[in-house]
Structure 1
Amino acid sequence: MVSSEKVILALTVLATLACTGYAIKCYQCDSITNPQCGKEFKSKESLVLDCTKTAAPRFLLNFFPVRNATGCMKQTIATPGTPQIIRSCFFGDVKNTDNGCQLDPVLFINKLQSCEVCTKDECNGSSSLAPIAGVILLFFGVARLLA
């Protein structure tokens, strides 16, 4: 029989994971003001933004009522001169990125070349196995406690 302490621990872990599911952290930078944000991205903790602490761009609020970030994005924009890469929070439907990837209409000179959207923490930077390894270790730790 599973002891009540193990059940409480398992429920606590599941509740914690469920609560943090709504918060996402993304890299926030652009390659014009920070060259480390370009194609050869160099991640820094100072570039990570908790997307719950930022609002959707004002021009996007006309398209959908989403107030919380739903993912991270990496935009490549053709600007006069050199292409610009912007990494930021994504607001909108991650399955239909047309609205959420729009550029500010005031900046009509700029043209969107690409927009990549993802839904994991810090996924708009370079790929890393650290988050996957953490989830695997957590799974085996909880499984061992319940065994």
Structure 2
Amino acid sequence: MDRRPIIALLLLVVCVHSGFSVVCYQCNSQYDPRCGDPFDPYTLGEVNCSMKPPLEHLGKIQPTICRKIVQRVYGKTRVVRGCGYLTDDSNPDGRSCFQRSGTHDVHVQYCTCNEDRCNSARSRSGPAAGALLAIALLAAGAGAGASVSAAPSAL
């Protein structure tokens, strides 16, 4: 029995990610120290970004990404996590970070991503883990098929 269609279907189900909503952590380390780094997400809030209303100054743009902002002002660090509205189309994998520094000891790192709960401190593999699993299954199936087909010639 050829298992490749089943494996392909599993791969499709694991790797396809809905572009209509993303779930992000939402917190501010000024009000809850668990939001900072190292991040403790176990009792912090999550938000379905598709349920948030559009911001008035952005028109009808809906939030479709998660963001993590690390601000250091005069030596004090604050981490803000939540939904983001504007994407960086130059990054095909949906992840991007940039840093800015200003005068008077002001530094900001702004990171965005488009997978559920990807704005944690830990990196989340999401669909990549599913792709690796599918590749491993295909390799195992190919290896098993190769040993079966090689067995008759060895006789």
Classify the TM-score, shorter chain.
Answer: 0.5 to 0.7
Q: Which amino acid aligns with 2:31?
A: T
Deviations 1:39-84 (A, max 9, x none): 322222643322222233333x24xx42241x21112346799443
1:120 to 104, 107, 115: 115
Q: Structure 1 residues 38, 119: closer, same or farther in 2, change over 3 A?
A: same
Deviations 1:11-63 (A, max 9, x none): 4752674353443222111112211111322222643322222233333x24x
Q: Structure 1 residues 128, 68: closer, same or farther in 2, change over 3 A?
A: closer
1:14 alignment partner in structure 2: 12
Q: Which shifted more, 30-39 or 120-129?
A: 120-129
- Rg larger in structure: 2
Q: Which amino acid aligns with 1:53?
A: M
List runs of 5+ in structure 1 lacking aligned partners: 97-110
| Secondary structure of the corresponding residue to residue 84 of structure 1 | strand
Contact 1:26 1:72 in 2 (8 A): yes
Q: Which shifted more, 31-40 or 45-54?
A: 45-54
The Cα shift of 1:85 comes to 1.6
Cα distance between partner residues in 1 of 2:119 and 2:18: 18
1:36 aligns with 2:34: yes
Contact 1:72 1:119 in 2 (8 A): yes
CA RMSD of aligned residues (A): 3.8
Cα distance between partner residues in 1 of 2:79 and 2:28: 6
Contact 2:67 2:110 in 1 (8 A): yes
Cα distance between partner residues in 1 of 2:24 and 2:52: 11
The Cα shift of 1:117 comes to 1.6
Percent identity, aligned pairs only? 24
List runs of 5+ in structure 2 lacking aligned partners: 91-105, 146-155
Q: Which amino acid aligns with 1:92?
A: L
